[in-house]
Amino acid sequence: MSRKYFGTDGIRGRVGDAPVTPDFMLKLGWATGKVFASEDGTKPTVVIGKDTRVSGYMLESALQAGLVAAGANVKLLGPLPTPGIALLTRTQKADAGIVISASHNPYFDNGIKFFNGQGSKLSDELEVRIEAMIDSPMETVDSEQLGKASRIADAAGRYVEYCKSTFPDELSLKGMKLVIDCAHGATYHIAPAVFEELGATTVVIGATPDGYNINDGVGSTEPAALQAKVLEEGADIGIAFDGDGDRLQMVNAKGELLTGDDVLYVLAMHRLANGDSDAGIVGTLMTNMGLELALQESGLRLARAKVGDRYVKELMVAEGWSLGGESSGHIICGDLSTTGDGVIAALQVLAAVRASGKSLEALTSGFNPLPQVLVNVRITKGFDLSTHPTIAEACRRVESELEGRGRLLLRPSGTEPVIRVMVEGDDTVAIDALADEVADAIRQAA
């Protein structure tokens, strides 16, 4: 379904460049209010939360004005992780939720993500309806029909308490030392409180946002700082979140970095041991084949969705399973959250550690990932892979070389102008060369 403004995870770009401008956000807010307006004239309610970027103030104000002009009531949450906004959308019985964030991108980018009233990502159909309304003339409702805006002052506290409620009552984090990296993002006032109130001793980094330092040298996309701090402090585990808190990276006591696949393996095995496992879990096209093999040994299936947590969630619902996620660290515990939630996923891993009495290293020992290499190739806007026979020929050569012992995947990014080239196989040197071969073909064509 063709979409003009929405990518794989909402609308995102550099602040000041279309569509991340105040005039567009005004129109987007108005269009959203019109789409969610009920036929009986009842005013829709929309909650708005954001991460810590300086541009959040500007975009929040513009969206609020547009929504009110369309006759929608607005509830402002302030800085709050994406999954917290999804939660408040549900608990406030709102018609929709809006997240102002560019996730792991630098501070000069920003974007918009939407939730429906159930706290799940919007369907493609609803996004298309909003886009169509954006292209319509903007008309403000009569004054008596204007919406109102209010602020939920204790939004952060509500989310903290919910996160804590997902940790088993019979367990505690007392005696455990954790390093928490908040990426100077939306978890800065959330994650430390959650883990400390459950009994952990915490060392916190990346928790002094100033509007400009989000994801700067810290967070899940820059885990070196976390790894170093875990070793320096002699901590049991390190946990890093991204800018909007919907994904995480974890580090064991040896300073070794875990992927989202490691986290999924730990959670799947913990649930299996407790007798509450489904028939399988949902991953993506990027999920390591080693996880698929490890799950098979335990009688579990791996179903692969398109990349993007919305597609993971859709396949989870279709399969009737409660666990899914991405290698990047978006982990969805569907029985606890409607979307990827870094804090809740971390708590479930810590629960597995506490309940088993084993270290995180021991819990991941049954998963042996196949070597995988990912190369990002920058492209020009509008570049079409399918129109370049030299790329197709390079892919055929690589797939022939792999001969069923691995995988080649080309995937255009939904958030930046790059083609992601992933090669997976049993020989690290060989897959590096094969990935470079395909990447070079794309660079020459681009």
How do the pLDDT tens digits run along the chain, 446 residues long? 567 898 878 899 999 999 999 999 999 999 999 999 976 778 999 999 999 999 999 999 999 999 999 999 999 999 999 999 999 999 999 999 999 999 999 999 999 999 999 999 998 889 999 999 999 999 999 999 999 999 999 999 999 999 999 999 999 999 999 999 999 999 999 999 999 999 999 999 999 999 999 999 999 999 999 999 999 999 999 999 999 999 999 999 999 999 999 999 999 999 999 998 899 999 999 899 889 989 999 999 999 999 888 899 999 999 999 999 999 999 999 999 999 999 999 999 999 999 999 999 999 999 999 998 999 999 988 898 889 999 999 999 999 988 767 889 998 887 688 999 999 998 888 999 999 999 999 999 98
Check the CA dihedral 214-216-222-225 and report its sign: negative
Q: Does domain 11-153 have CATH number 3.40.120.10?
A: yes
- Architecture of the domain whose range is 258-363: 3-Layer(aba) Sandwich (3.40)
Quote the pLDDT of residue 2. Answer: 60
Give the single-character DSSP code of 144: G
Reported pTM: 0.90
Beta strands 407-412; 418-424: pairing state:
antiparallel
Distance CA 118, CA 91 (A): 9
201-205 sheet: strands from edge to edge: 201-205, 177-181, 237-241, 248-251, 257-258
CA atoms within 13 A on the CB side of 389: 0
Q: Look-up: residue for tokens 């070079």?
A: 440
- Architecture of the domain whose range is 372-445: 2-Layer Sandwich (3.30)
Topology, domain 162-243: Alpha-D-Glucose-1,6-Bisphosphate; Chain A, domain 3 (3.40.120)
Quote the pLDDT of residue 444. Answer: 92
CA atoms within 13 A on the CB side of 280: 20
Helix axes 155-165 and 82-91, enclosed angle (nearest 10): 100
- Catalytically annotated residue among 55, 101, 103, 328: 103
Helix (H, G, I), strand (E, B) or coil at 407: strand
* Domain limits, CATH 3.40.120.10, in the chain: 11-153, 162-243, 258-363
Tell me whether residue 103 is one of the annotated catalytic residues.
Answer: yes
